[in-house]
A and B are shown apart, each in its own frame.
Chain A
Amino acid sequence: MWKWLYKLGSPKWFYTMTGQYMPWLVGLTVILLGVGLVWGLAFTPPDYQMGENYRIAYIHVPSASIAMGCYYMMACMAAAFLIWRIKMADMVAKACAPVGMTFTAAALFTGSVWGIPTWGTWWIWDARLTSTLIMLFLFIGVMALRSAYDSAQSGAKASAVLTLVGVVNVPIIKYSVEWWNTLHQGASNLSLSNTAANPPEVWVPAFFVGFGLLGFFLIAIILRTRNEILIRERRTDWVSDILGDARGEN
Protein backbone atom coordinates (compact mmCIF):
# COMPACT_ATOMS: atom_id res chain seq x y z
CA MET A 1 0.00 0.00 0.00
CA TRP A 2 2.65 2.52 1.05
CA LYS A 3 4.92 1.45 -1.75
CA TRP A 4 2.11 2.00 -4.19
CA LEU A 5 1.45 5.46 -2.79
CA TYR A 6 5.12 6.25 -2.97
CA LYS A 7 5.19 5.22 -6.61
CA LEU A 8 2.13 7.31 -7.38
CA GLY A 9 4.09 10.32 -6.21
CA SER A 10 6.67 9.78 -8.92
CA PRO A 11 5.89 11.72 -12.11
CA LYS A 12 7.68 9.19 -14.27
CA TRP A 13 5.75 6.25 -12.87
CA PHE A 14 2.47 8.15 -13.18
CA TYR A 15 3.26 9.03 -16.79
CA THR A 16 4.12 5.51 -17.93
CA MET A 17 1.35 3.91 -15.86
CA THR A 18 -1.41 6.17 -17.19
CA GLY A 19 0.00 5.78 -20.67
CA GLN A 20 -0.46 2.01 -20.38
CA TYR A 21 -4.00 2.10 -19.03
CA MET A 22 -5.26 5.04 -21.08
CA PRO A 23 -6.53 2.95 -24.06
CA TRP A 24 -8.55 0.75 -21.69
CA LEU A 25 -10.01 3.75 -19.92
CA VAL A 26 -10.90 5.44 -23.21
CA GLY A 27 -12.49 2.26 -24.54
CA LEU A 28 -14.54 1.72 -21.40
CA THR A 29 -15.67 5.33 -21.41
CA VAL A 30 -16.74 5.22 -25.03
CA ILE A 31 -18.73 2.03 -24.43
CA LEU A 32 -20.40 3.33 -21.26
CA LEU A 33 -21.24 6.72 -22.75
CA GLY A 34 -22.37 5.21 -26.03
CA VAL A 35 -24.66 2.64 -24.45
CA GLY A 36 -25.97 5.06 -21.82
CA LEU A 37 -26.64 7.96 -24.17
CA VAL A 38 -28.29 5.93 -26.91
CA TRP A 39 -30.37 4.00 -24.38
CA GLY A 40 -31.25 7.04 -22.30
CA LEU A 41 -31.91 9.51 -25.09
CA ALA A 42 -33.62 7.26 -27.61
CA PHE A 43 -35.14 4.21 -25.94
CA THR A 44 -36.43 5.19 -22.51
CA PRO A 45 -40.12 6.09 -22.30
CA PRO A 46 -40.98 9.81 -21.99
CA ASP A 47 -41.92 11.07 -18.54
CA TYR A 48 -45.64 11.46 -17.86
CA GLN A 49 -45.18 15.01 -16.61
CA MET A 50 -42.09 16.41 -18.28
CA GLY A 51 -42.32 14.59 -21.58
CA GLU A 52 -38.98 14.44 -23.33
CA ASN A 53 -37.41 17.23 -21.29
CA TYR A 54 -36.26 15.07 -18.47
CA ARG A 55 -33.62 13.43 -20.68
CA ILE A 56 -31.27 16.32 -20.01
CA ALA A 57 -31.00 14.97 -16.46
CA TYR A 58 -28.84 12.19 -17.92
CA ILE A 59 -26.12 14.80 -18.37
CA HIS A 60 -27.11 17.23 -15.63
CA VAL A 61 -27.04 14.97 -12.58
CA PRO A 62 -23.67 13.27 -13.26
CA SER A 63 -22.07 16.63 -14.17
CA ALA A 64 -23.16 18.16 -10.89
CA SER A 65 -21.93 15.19 -8.81
CA ILE A 66 -18.62 15.05 -10.65
CA ALA A 67 -18.11 18.79 -10.22
CA MET A 68 -18.62 18.53 -6.47
CA GLY A 69 -16.43 15.45 -6.25
CA CYS A 70 -13.80 17.30 -8.24
CA TYR A 71 -13.67 20.10 -5.67
CA TYR A 72 -13.08 17.59 -2.88
CA MET A 73 -10.46 15.80 -4.96
CA MET A 74 -8.71 19.11 -5.57
CA ALA A 75 -8.83 19.79 -1.82
CA CYS A 76 -7.32 16.38 -0.98
CA MET A 77 -4.55 17.03 -3.49
CA ALA A 78 -3.98 20.51 -2.06
CA ALA A 79 -3.68 19.06 1.45
CA ALA A 80 -1.30 16.33 0.27
CA PHE A 81 0.80 18.96 -1.47
CA LEU A 82 0.94 21.31 1.52
CA ILE A 83 1.60 18.61 4.10
CA TRP A 84 3.91 16.17 2.33
CA ARG A 85 5.17 18.43 -0.48
CA ILE A 86 4.17 15.85 -3.11
CA LYS A 87 4.71 17.52 -6.47
CA MET A 88 2.37 15.10 -8.22
CA ALA A 89 -0.48 16.16 -5.96
CA ASP A 90 -0.07 19.75 -7.05
CA MET A 91 -0.05 18.77 -10.71
CA VAL A 92 -3.34 16.89 -10.27
CA ALA A 93 -4.79 19.80 -8.28
CA LYS A 94 -3.83 22.16 -11.09
CA ALA A 95 -5.58 19.89 -13.57
CA CYS A 96 -8.69 19.69 -11.36
CA ALA A 97 -9.51 23.41 -11.38
CA PRO A 98 -10.37 23.97 -15.06
CA VAL A 99 -11.98 20.54 -15.46
CA GLY A 100 -14.09 21.04 -12.32
CA MET A 101 -15.05 24.50 -13.50
CA THR A 102 -16.20 23.10 -16.82
CA PHE A 103 -18.32 20.40 -15.18
CA THR A 104 -19.85 22.98 -12.82
CA ALA A 105 -20.65 25.22 -15.78
CA ALA A 106 -22.10 22.22 -17.64
CA ALA A 107 -24.32 21.38 -14.65
CA LEU A 108 -25.55 24.98 -14.45
CA PHE A 109 -26.12 25.22 -18.19
CA THR A 110 -28.01 21.95 -18.54
CA GLY A 111 -30.04 22.84 -15.45
CA SER A 112 -31.01 26.16 -17.01
CA VAL A 113 -31.97 24.56 -20.30
CA TRP A 114 -34.12 22.09 -18.38
CA GLY A 115 -35.57 24.85 -16.21
CA ILE A 116 -37.00 26.99 -19.02
CA PRO A 117 -39.78 24.57 -20.05
CA THR A 118 -40.16 22.87 -16.66
CA TRP A 119 -39.92 25.63 -14.07
CA GLY A 120 -40.70 28.44 -16.48
CA THR A 121 -37.45 30.21 -15.68
CA TRP A 122 -33.83 29.55 -16.50
CA TRP A 123 -32.49 30.98 -13.27
CA ILE A 124 -33.86 31.24 -9.76
CA TRP A 125 -32.15 32.10 -6.47
CA ASP A 126 -32.62 28.65 -5.11
CA ALA A 127 -30.30 26.93 -2.64
CA ARG A 128 -28.89 24.33 -5.01
CA LEU A 129 -28.39 26.71 -7.89
CA THR A 130 -26.80 29.37 -5.74
CA SER A 131 -24.37 27.04 -4.01
CA THR A 132 -23.37 25.54 -7.35
CA LEU A 133 -22.77 29.04 -8.69
CA ILE A 134 -20.59 29.80 -5.66
CA MET A 135 -18.61 26.63 -6.32
CA LEU A 136 -18.02 27.92 -9.85
CA PHE A 137 -16.66 31.14 -8.32
CA LEU A 138 -14.39 29.13 -6.03
CA PHE A 139 -12.93 27.21 -8.97
CA ILE A 140 -12.36 30.49 -10.84
CA GLY A 141 -10.77 32.06 -7.76
CA VAL A 142 -8.33 29.16 -7.35
CA MET A 143 -7.31 29.43 -11.00
CA ALA A 144 -7.02 33.23 -10.84
CA LEU A 145 -4.81 33.08 -7.76
CA ARG A 146 -2.48 30.50 -9.27
CA SER A 147 -2.01 32.46 -12.47
CA ALA A 148 -1.47 35.73 -10.57
CA TYR A 149 1.83 34.50 -9.15
CA ASP A 150 4.97 34.71 -11.23
CA SER A 151 6.63 31.90 -9.31
CA ALA A 152 4.93 28.58 -10.02
CA GLN A 153 5.90 27.25 -6.59
CA SER A 154 4.30 30.17 -4.69
CA GLY A 155 1.24 30.07 -6.91
CA ALA A 156 0.83 26.36 -6.22
CA LYS A 157 1.04 26.81 -2.46
CA ALA A 158 -1.22 29.86 -2.40
CA SER A 159 -3.92 28.19 -4.46
CA ALA A 160 -3.66 25.10 -2.23
CA VAL A 161 -4.33 27.23 0.86
CA LEU A 162 -7.28 28.89 -0.86
CA THR A 163 -8.66 25.49 -1.92
CA LEU A 164 -8.57 24.28 1.68
CA VAL A 165 -10.23 27.45 2.98
CA GLY A 166 -12.88 26.93 0.32
CA VAL A 167 -13.47 23.33 1.33
CA VAL A 168 -14.32 24.44 4.86
CA ASN A 169 -16.78 26.79 3.27
CA VAL A 170 -18.41 24.41 0.80
CA PRO A 171 -20.62 22.65 3.40
CA ILE A 172 -21.33 25.97 5.11
CA ILE A 173 -22.35 27.51 1.82
CA LYS A 174 -24.50 24.50 1.05
CA TYR A 175 -26.36 24.59 4.34
CA SER A 176 -26.53 28.36 4.61
CA VAL A 177 -28.37 28.64 1.35
CA GLU A 178 -30.64 25.75 2.28
CA TRP A 179 -32.27 28.12 4.74
CA TRP A 180 -34.02 29.69 1.83
CA ASN A 181 -37.04 28.07 0.33
CA THR A 182 -35.80 25.69 -2.22
CA LEU A 183 -37.26 24.72 -5.56
CA HIS A 184 -34.69 22.16 -6.67
CA GLN A 185 -35.81 18.62 -5.97
CA GLY A 186 -33.86 16.34 -3.70
CA ALA A 187 -32.17 13.15 -4.80
CA SER A 188 -34.53 10.53 -6.17
CA ASN A 189 -35.04 7.21 -4.49
CA LEU A 190 -33.27 4.85 -6.83
CA SER A 191 -33.98 1.22 -6.19
CA LEU A 192 -35.21 -1.68 -8.23
CA SER A 193 -38.39 -1.85 -6.16
CA ASN A 194 -39.22 1.84 -6.62
CA THR A 195 -41.26 1.84 -9.78
CA ALA A 196 -43.52 4.81 -9.11
CA ALA A 197 -41.86 7.88 -10.61
CA ASN A 198 -38.46 6.54 -11.61
CA PRO A 199 -38.73 3.05 -13.07
CA PRO A 200 -35.43 1.21 -13.50
CA GLU A 201 -35.55 1.55 -17.28
CA VAL A 202 -35.20 5.31 -16.72
CA TRP A 203 -32.39 5.35 -14.21
CA VAL A 204 -30.32 2.34 -15.20
CA PRO A 205 -29.09 4.13 -18.36
CA ALA A 206 -28.33 7.08 -16.10
CA PHE A 207 -25.78 4.89 -14.36
CA PHE A 208 -24.13 4.11 -17.67
CA VAL A 209 -23.94 7.81 -18.55
CA GLY A 210 -22.80 8.65 -15.03
CA PHE A 211 -19.89 6.23 -15.06
CA GLY A 212 -19.14 7.18 -18.65
CA LEU A 213 -18.88 10.85 -17.69
CA LEU A 214 -16.76 9.85 -14.70
CA GLY A 215 -14.44 8.09 -17.13
CA PHE A 216 -14.40 11.19 -19.32
CA PHE A 217 -13.56 13.28 -16.25
CA LEU A 218 -10.67 10.98 -15.35
CA ILE A 219 -9.37 11.07 -18.91
CA ALA A 220 -9.43 14.87 -18.88
CA ILE A 221 -7.62 15.03 -15.53
CA ILE A 222 -5.02 12.45 -16.57
CA LEU A 223 -4.29 14.12 -19.92
CA ARG A 224 -3.87 17.53 -18.28
CA THR A 225 -1.65 16.02 -15.60
CA ARG A 226 0.47 14.24 -18.20
CA ASN A 227 1.02 17.51 -20.07
CA GLU A 228 1.93 19.22 -16.83
CA ILE A 229 4.43 16.45 -16.05
CA LEU A 230 6.09 16.86 -19.44
CA ILE A 231 6.32 20.63 -18.98
CA ARG A 232 7.73 20.50 -15.48
CA GLU A 233 10.09 17.58 -16.02
CA ARG A 234 11.26 18.71 -19.43
CA ARG A 235 14.86 18.89 -18.31
CA THR A 236 15.02 15.31 -17.06
CA ASP A 237 16.48 12.44 -19.01
CA TRP A 238 13.39 10.29 -19.22
CA VAL A 239 11.34 13.11 -20.76
CA SER A 240 14.10 13.77 -23.27
CA ASP A 241 14.04 10.07 -24.10
CA ILE A 242 10.30 10.15 -24.75
CA LEU A 243 10.37 13.41 -26.64
CA GLY A 244 13.66 12.57 -28.29
CA ASP A 245 11.95 10.30 -30.79
CA ALA A 246 9.49 12.96 -31.73
CA ARG A 247 12.15 15.64 -31.94
CA GLY A 248 14.64 13.46 -33.76
CA GLU A 249 12.37 12.93 -36.72
CA ASN A 250 12.29 16.63 -37.50
Chain B
Amino acid sequence: MSIVIATLRRELLIAFRSPGDMINPLMFFVIAVTLFPLGVGSDKAFLSEIASGVIWVTALLAVMLSMDSLFRSDYEDGSLEQLLLSPQPIYFIILAKVAGHWLISGLPLVILAPVLASMLALPQQSLLPLLAGLMLGTPILTLLGAIGMALTVGLSRSGLLLAVLILPLYIPVLVFGTGLVDSAQGGMGISGLLALLGAMLVLAVCLAPLAIVAALRISVN
Protein backbone atom coordinates (compact mmCIF):
# COMPACT_ATOMS: atom_id res chain seq x y z
CA MET B 1 0.00 0.00 0.00
CA SER B 2 2.85 2.37 0.78
CA ILE B 3 4.02 2.15 -2.83
CA VAL B 4 0.61 3.36 -4.00
CA ILE B 5 0.76 6.38 -1.70
CA ALA B 6 4.36 7.09 -2.62
CA THR B 7 3.62 6.96 -6.36
CA LEU B 8 0.54 9.13 -5.92
CA ARG B 9 2.53 11.69 -3.93
CA ARG B 10 5.25 11.75 -6.54
CA GLU B 11 2.75 12.31 -9.36
CA LEU B 12 1.00 15.14 -7.52
CA LEU B 13 4.28 16.73 -6.52
CA ILE B 14 5.57 16.72 -10.09
CA ALA B 15 2.29 18.13 -11.32
CA PHE B 16 2.28 20.99 -8.82
CA ARG B 17 5.88 21.85 -9.62
CA SER B 18 5.14 22.19 -13.33
CA PRO B 19 1.57 23.48 -13.36
CA GLY B 20 1.57 24.00 -17.12
CA ASP B 21 0.84 20.33 -17.73
CA MET B 22 -2.12 20.64 -15.41
CA ILE B 23 -3.52 23.92 -16.64
CA ASN B 24 -3.19 23.49 -20.39
CA PRO B 25 -5.80 20.71 -20.78
CA LEU B 26 -8.19 22.77 -18.66
CA MET B 27 -7.62 25.82 -20.82
CA PHE B 28 -8.17 23.69 -23.90
CA PHE B 29 -11.46 22.48 -22.39
CA VAL B 30 -12.68 26.03 -21.69
CA ILE B 31 -11.55 27.49 -25.02
CA ALA B 32 -12.88 24.61 -27.11
CA VAL B 33 -16.29 24.86 -25.43
CA THR B 34 -16.24 28.62 -26.04
CA LEU B 35 -15.75 28.00 -29.74
CA PHE B 36 -19.08 26.22 -30.10
CA PRO B 37 -21.47 29.10 -29.40
CA LEU B 38 -19.32 31.24 -31.70
CA GLY B 39 -19.47 28.60 -34.39
CA VAL B 40 -23.06 27.39 -34.26
CA GLY B 41 -24.76 30.58 -33.04
CA SER B 42 -25.87 31.63 -29.57
CA ASP B 43 -29.50 30.58 -29.80
CA LYS B 44 -30.28 29.39 -26.29
CA ALA B 45 -32.69 26.63 -27.20
CA PHE B 46 -30.22 25.12 -29.65
CA LEU B 47 -27.29 25.47 -27.26
CA SER B 48 -29.11 23.74 -24.44
CA GLU B 49 -29.83 20.88 -26.82
CA ILE B 50 -26.19 20.32 -27.75
CA ALA B 51 -24.67 21.34 -24.39
CA SER B 52 -24.11 17.89 -22.95
CA GLY B 53 -22.65 16.55 -26.19
CA VAL B 54 -20.29 19.51 -26.55
CA ILE B 55 -19.07 19.21 -22.97
CA TRP B 56 -18.57 15.46 -23.28
CA VAL B 57 -16.69 15.63 -26.57
CA THR B 58 -14.41 18.45 -25.46
CA ALA B 59 -13.76 16.78 -22.10
CA LEU B 60 -12.86 13.61 -23.98
CA LEU B 61 -10.44 15.47 -26.22
CA ALA B 62 -8.97 17.33 -23.25
CA VAL B 63 -8.30 14.04 -21.45
CA MET B 64 -6.67 12.64 -24.57
CA LEU B 65 -4.45 15.69 -25.02
CA SER B 66 -3.42 15.58 -21.38
CA MET B 67 -2.15 12.01 -21.69
CA ASP B 68 1.23 13.08 -23.00
CA SER B 69 2.40 14.21 -19.56
CA LEU B 70 1.58 10.82 -18.03
CA PHE B 71 4.55 8.81 -19.34
CA ARG B 72 6.54 11.11 -21.63
CA SER B 73 8.92 12.74 -19.13
CA ASP B 74 9.32 9.52 -17.16
CA TYR B 75 10.21 7.75 -20.38
CA GLU B 76 12.73 10.38 -21.37
CA ASP B 77 14.60 10.52 -18.05
CA GLY B 78 14.57 6.74 -17.57
CA SER B 79 12.45 6.62 -14.43
CA LEU B 80 9.83 4.60 -16.31
CA GLU B 81 12.38 1.85 -16.76
CA GLN B 82 13.15 1.97 -13.05
CA LEU B 83 9.44 1.67 -12.25
CA LEU B 84 9.16 -1.43 -14.46
CA LEU B 85 12.24 -2.97 -12.87
CA SER B 86 11.17 -2.29 -9.31
CA PRO B 87 10.30 -5.31 -7.15
CA GLN B 88 7.04 -3.69 -6.05
CA PRO B 89 3.80 -4.86 -7.75
CA ILE B 90 3.80 -2.96 -11.03
CA TYR B 91 0.00 -3.23 -11.35
CA PHE B 92 -0.51 -0.98 -8.33
CA ILE B 93 2.23 1.43 -9.29
CA ILE B 94 0.60 1.98 -12.68
CA LEU B 95 -2.85 2.23 -11.14
CA ALA B 96 -1.56 4.86 -8.70
CA LYS B 97 0.13 6.75 -11.52
CA VAL B 98 -3.05 6.81 -13.57
CA ALA B 99 -5.11 7.78 -10.50
CA GLY B 100 -2.73 10.63 -9.81
CA HIS B 101 -3.00 11.77 -13.39
CA TRP B 102 -6.79 11.68 -13.19
CA LEU B 103 -6.72 13.79 -10.02
CA ILE B 104 -4.79 16.53 -11.79
CA SER B 105 -6.36 16.34 -15.25
CA GLY B 106 -9.75 14.58 -15.04
CA LEU B 107 -11.14 15.86 -11.77
CA PRO B 108 -10.59 19.57 -12.59
CA LEU B 109 -12.60 19.02 -15.78
CA VAL B 110 -15.51 17.66 -13.75
CA ILE B 111 -15.26 20.60 -11.34
CA LEU B 112 -15.18 23.10 -14.18
CA ALA B 113 -18.03 21.46 -16.10
CA PRO B 114 -20.96 23.15 -14.22
CA VAL B 115 -19.70 26.62 -15.17
CA LEU B 116 -19.46 25.67 -18.83
CA ALA B 117 -22.81 23.87 -18.63
CA SER B 118 -24.52 27.02 -17.45
CA MET B 119 -22.78 29.04 -20.16
CA LEU B 120 -24.27 26.62 -22.68
CA ALA B 121 -27.70 26.90 -21.02
CA LEU B 122 -27.90 23.25 -20.01
CA PRO B 123 -31.24 22.68 -18.23
CA GLN B 124 -30.95 22.54 -14.45
CA GLN B 125 -32.21 18.98 -14.07
CA SER B 126 -29.56 17.69 -16.47
CA LEU B 127 -26.61 19.08 -14.55
CA LEU B 128 -26.39 16.31 -11.98
CA PRO B 129 -26.54 13.48 -14.54
CA LEU B 130 -23.85 15.27 -16.57
CA LEU B 131 -21.56 15.55 -13.55
CA ALA B 132 -22.22 11.99 -12.39
CA GLY B 133 -21.46 10.73 -15.87
CA LEU B 134 -18.24 12.75 -16.10
CA MET B 135 -17.22 11.63 -12.62
CA LEU B 136 -17.49 7.96 -13.64
CA GLY B 137 -16.50 8.47 -17.26
CA THR B 138 -13.31 10.55 -17.07
CA PRO B 139 -11.38 7.87 -15.10
CA ILE B 140 -12.29 5.37 -17.84
CA LEU B 141 -11.05 7.83 -20.44
CA THR B 142 -7.82 8.31 -18.51
CA LEU B 143 -7.26 4.55 -18.20
CA LEU B 144 -7.92 3.90 -21.90
CA GLY B 145 -5.80 6.89 -22.86
CA ALA B 146 -2.98 5.53 -20.73
CA ILE B 147 -3.02 2.33 -22.82
CA GLY B 148 -2.67 4.35 -26.01
CA MET B 149 0.00 6.54 -24.47
CA ALA B 150 1.94 3.51 -23.25
CA LEU B 151 1.84 2.05 -26.76
CA THR B 152 3.12 5.22 -28.40
CA VAL B 153 5.45 6.72 -25.79
CA GLY B 154 8.50 5.24 -27.50
CA LEU B 155 7.65 6.90 -30.81
CA SER B 156 8.94 10.37 -31.52
CA ARG B 157 5.81 11.91 -33.04
CA SER B 158 2.86 10.19 -31.49
CA GLY B 159 0.23 12.92 -31.07
CA LEU B 160 -2.02 12.16 -34.02
CA LEU B 161 -1.40 8.42 -33.84
CA LEU B 162 -2.68 8.48 -30.24
CA ALA B 163 -5.91 10.04 -31.47
CA VAL B 164 -6.36 7.38 -34.16
CA LEU B 165 -5.81 4.59 -31.63
CA ILE B 166 -7.77 5.94 -28.71
CA LEU B 167 -10.78 7.83 -30.03
CA PRO B 168 -12.57 4.70 -31.34
CA LEU B 169 -12.18 3.16 -27.88
CA TYR B 170 -13.68 6.28 -26.27
CA ILE B 171 -16.96 5.93 -28.13
CA PRO B 172 -18.82 3.69 -25.62
CA VAL B 173 -18.09 6.11 -22.79
CA LEU B 174 -19.32 9.00 -24.89
CA VAL B 175 -22.51 7.16 -25.86
CA PHE B 176 -23.39 6.23 -22.29
CA GLY B 177 -22.36 9.61 -20.88
CA THR B 178 -24.50 11.64 -23.23
CA GLY B 179 -27.25 9.01 -23.05
CA LEU B 180 -27.37 9.65 -19.31
CA VAL B 181 -28.11 13.35 -19.86
CA ASP B 182 -30.63 12.61 -22.61
CA SER B 183 -32.64 10.20 -20.51
CA ALA B 184 -32.63 12.67 -17.60
CA GLN B 185 -33.95 15.36 -19.95
CA GLY B 186 -36.58 12.94 -21.19
CA GLY B 187 -37.68 12.32 -17.61
CA MET B 188 -36.51 8.71 -17.51
CA GLY B 189 -34.47 7.08 -14.79
CA ILE B 190 -30.70 7.28 -15.00
CA SER B 191 -29.70 4.57 -12.55
CA GLY B 192 -29.39 1.88 -15.24
CA LEU B 193 -26.99 3.88 -17.40
CA LEU B 194 -25.11 5.03 -14.32
CA ALA B 195 -24.67 1.41 -13.27
CA LEU B 196 -23.39 0.52 -16.74
CA LEU B 197 -20.84 3.33 -16.64
CA GLY B 198 -19.81 2.16 -13.18
CA ALA B 199 -19.41 -1.38 -14.46
CA MET B 200 -17.24 -0.12 -17.31
CA LEU B 201 -15.12 1.77 -14.79
CA VAL B 202 -14.63 -1.38 -12.69
CA LEU B 203 -13.72 -3.34 -15.82
CA ALA B 204 -11.26 -0.66 -16.90
CA VAL B 205 -9.65 -0.47 -13.45
CA CYS B 206 -9.20 -4.25 -13.42
CA LEU B 207 -7.97 -4.79 -16.98
CA ALA B 208 -6.45 -1.56 -18.26
CA PRO B 209 -3.36 -1.62 -15.98
CA LEU B 210 -2.48 -5.05 -17.40
CA ALA B 211 -2.57 -3.69 -20.93
CA ILE B 212 -0.67 -0.56 -19.87
CA VAL B 213 2.11 -2.65 -18.30
CA ALA B 214 2.35 -4.90 -21.36
CA ALA B 215 2.48 -1.84 -23.62
CA LEU B 216 5.10 -0.09 -21.48
CA ARG B 217 7.32 -3.15 -21.57
CA ILE B 218 7.16 -3.07 -25.37
CA SER B 219 7.90 0.66 -25.48
CA VAL B 220 10.78 0.53 -23.03
CA ASN B 221 12.11 -2.70 -24.47
Contacts and interface: CB of A to CB of B under 8 A. Distances in A.
A161 B200 contact: no
Contacts of B164: 137, 140-141, 144
Contact of B151 (A145, A168, A169, A173): A145
B92 interface: no
Given A141-B165, A164-B211, A157 B218 contact: yes
A151 B215 CA distance: 15
A169 B176 CA distance: 14
A240 interface: no
A176 B176 contact: yes
Contacts of B219: 154, 158
A64 interface: no
The size class of the interface chain B forms with chain A is 20 to 34
A177 B155 CA distance: 33
Contacts of B207: 168
Contacts of B179: 179
A91 B215 CA distance: 20
B218 A161 contact: yes
A154 to B, nearest CB: 5
Contact of A154 (B147, B172, B203, B218): B218
Contact of A149 (B155, B172, B203): B155
B172 A169 contact: yes
Interface string B170-209: 0110011001000000000000000000001001000100
B168 A158 contact: no
A177 B219 CA distance: 33
6 contacts: A137-B164, A158-B219, A173-B171, A176-B172, A176-B176, A180-B175
Interface of A: 82, 134, 137-138, 140-141, 144-145, 148-149, 151, 154, 157-158, 161-162, 164-166, 168-169, 172-173, 176-177, 179-180
Given A148-B158, A161-B151, A161-B218, 9 more contacts: A140-B164, A144-B164, A154-B219, A158-B219, A161-B214, A168-B207, A169-B169, A177-B175, A179-B176
